[in-house]
Amino acid sequence: MSFKALSEKIDFELVKELSKLTPEQAAMKAARDKELHDIIEGKDDRILLVIGPCSAHDEEALMEYVRRLAKLQEQVKDKVFMVPRIYTNKPRTTGDGYKGLLHKQDPTGKSNLIQGIAAVRSLHNRVITETGLTTADEMLYPE
């Protein structure tokens, strides 16, 4: 049995380089990761709230949402730690329909996983840069 390649091989190093965190972003992420770790470990008594829309297919609408969330986070930072859920993958039971930004950057266009991975990483980086919030995503597939 042999396999036939249907698309080009993903160059993970290139994708990482195209969407690399700046030193400032990396520092913000490290600080927030520490806070998140402390909340999960019970060392920080704030409530962890992972919150976000069903789909992250409209980047500008998503950024408006996250900007508003960042303002709210500032108001409740002593009691609640918010992590925006940037859901970029929409598994379908039947396999039909829009599967999310990861698969199709344009809901009506052709699937391109390599471009999708780069687009998803770029979107997460943009959220960190513009709001200071780090993100959560999900990778789900039907059985």
Cα–Cα nearest to 116, from 56, 26, 60, 29: 56
Q: What is the pTM of this model?
A: 0.78
What confidence tens digit (pLDDT) does each residue in 42-70 have?
999 999 999 987 777 778 888 999 999 99
**85 domain-assigned:** yes
**60 domain-assigned:** yes
Residue span of the structural domain in which 92 resides: 23-131
Axis crossing angle, helix 113-131 with helix 59-76, rounded to the nearest 10: 30
Q: How many domains does the chain have?
A: 1
130 near 79, Cβ under 8 Å? no
7-16, 60-69, 118-127: which has the highest mean pLDDT? Answer: 60-69
d(CA 9, CA 1): 20
**16 domain-assigned:** no
**141 domain-assigned:** no
pLDDT of residue 25 exceeding 70, the answer is yes
**113 domain-assigned:** yes
Strand partners, 80: 47
**127 domain-assigned:** yes
Please state, for a pLDDT cut of 90, what percent of the chain lies above it.
41
d(CA 107, CA 99): 8
96 pLDDT tier (thresholds 50, 70, 90): low
- For residues 68-92, average pLDDT: 90
pLDDT of residue 80: 98
**143 domain-assigned:** no
**65 domain-assigned:** yes
DSSP 97-132: S---TTT-SSTTS---HHHHHHHHHHHHHHHHHHHS
